[in-house]
């Protein structure tokens, strides 16, 4: 299912992504080799979260 999300959203290497979910980070953990070098974890309430940057893709998986 994660691969399908990536394909349908045309996710590409080098894009910035905000993975909003229930805290599991399932999309961020979906990496074929398991070697993520550029992940920043932010623990926050999304209803009050003030973004400091812009993102190429924003995903909400497993939030509801």
Query: DSSP string spanning 8-64?
Result: HTT--TT--EEEEESSS-HHHH--TT---SS-------TTT---SS--SEEEEES--
Domain parsing of the chain, residue ranges: 1-60
Select the more confidently predicted residue: 48 or 42. Answer: 48
Predicted pLDDT of residue 34 = 60
pLDDT average, residue stretch 22-41: 71
Q: What percent of the chain has pLDDT over 70?
A: 84
pLDDT average, residue stretch 10-24: 79
Is residue 25's pLDDT more than 70? yes
Is residue 7's pLDDT more than 80? yes
Is pTM beyond 0.75 here?
Answer: no
Report how far residue 38's alpha carbon sits from residue 29's, in angstroms, rounded to the nearest whole number: 12
């Amino acid at each position: 299912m994660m691969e399908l999300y990536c394909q349908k959203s045309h996710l590409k290497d080098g894009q910035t992504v905000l993975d909003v979910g229930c805290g599991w980070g399932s999309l961020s953990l979906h990496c074929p080799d398991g070697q993520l070098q550029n992940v920043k974890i932010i623990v926050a309430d999304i209803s009050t979260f003030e973004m400091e940057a812009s993102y190429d893709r924003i995903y909400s998986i497993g939030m509801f």
